[in-house]
Amino acid sequence: MAKVKIDDNLYDRVKKVAEIGGYSSADEFIVHIIEKELGQVESSSDGEQEVIDRLKGLGYLE
């Protein structure tokens, strides 16, 4: 299993939303939203370029 670092403030927000949403843990919620986003991107016609554009928009790529 890989590990991803998340800013403490963001992780606190994730924990709150996960609890409100009925998830058993923040990790379960994070996996769910990543799988959901991947499904949307994989089903789109733009594919790889859309992923790159979204990652740039999120500030992960320059």
Domain locations in the chain?
8-57
Q: Mean pLDDT, 10 residues at a time, over the chain (62 residues)?
A: 90 96 96 89 71 85 82
Q: Which residues contact 19 (CB under 8 A, 6 or more apart)?
A: none
- The pLDDT of residue 55 is 85
User: Is-contact 42 34, C-beta < 8 A?
Assistant: no
The encoded tokens of residue 16 equal: 């709150």
Q: How far apart are CA 36 and CA 44, in angstroms?
A: 13
pLDDT given for residue 46 in this prediction: 63
| CA 31 – CA 23 distance, rounded (Å) | 11
**CA distance to 6, 45, 48, per residue, from 42 (Å):** 24, 8, 8
User: What was the pLDDT predicted at 47?
Assistant: 67
